[in-house]
Amino acid sequence: MKAVKYIGITLFVLVILMIGFAKVERITPVSLVDQNALNMGMFSKVVINGYDAVSYQVNNKPLQGNENIYSEWKGGKWLFSSEENKNIFEENPSQYAPLFGGYCVYAISKGVTANTDPEVYEVIDGKLILFAAEDVHAEWMKDPVGNLEECTLMWND
């Protein structure tokens, strides 16, 4: 009888750990995500893990945003490395915001959302896309056109 109790407790702890991991990594089936959802911090509304969305295109590299230079858009807090980048974003936020709410496009192409590494990205046709890691970036880039179509279908389904 004690063995059954220990197994039950162990299974309960494992389920809690799995739920916690999924929450931290922001893993959710795409079908359960609002198309206007943003990949925000677990305990904040900061988008792109605090990186400057404009810097990918204007500065040609990802720059860490400054907590004191921000804009709010679509319920998220967007940080910027400069006032200039903030102003550029505010003129046309959809031009600089990452596609698919800033979730990993590889994960979306597989039907789930996942957090991203802001240093692993591509700008395709003037649109920012983010990845969870370099290995999935390389895999996804084998067919960017087809994968982008798949992401669009998954996201809009």
Predicted confidence (pLDDT) per residue in 32-79, tens digit: 777 778 999 878 999 999 999 999 999 999 999 999 999 999 999 999
What pLDDT is recorded for position 43?
Answer: 85
Q: Check if the beta carbon of residue 103 is closer than 8 Å to that of residue 27.
A: no
The model carries a pTM of 0.81
pLDDT exceeds 60 at position 92: yes
Contacts of 124-129 with CB under 8 Å at 24 or more apart are 124/148, 126/57, 126/95, 127/98, 127/99, 128/53, 128/56, 128/57, 128/96, 128/97, 128/98, 128/99, 129/98, 129/99, 129/100, 129/105
- Token look-up 């992401």 returns 151
pLDDT exceeds 70 at position 21: no
Host H or E run for residue 124: strand 117-124
Domain that holds residue 103: 2-156
What pLDDT is recorded for position 23?
Answer: 42
137 confidence band (pLDDT: 50, 70, 90): very high
| Structural domains in the chain (count) | 1
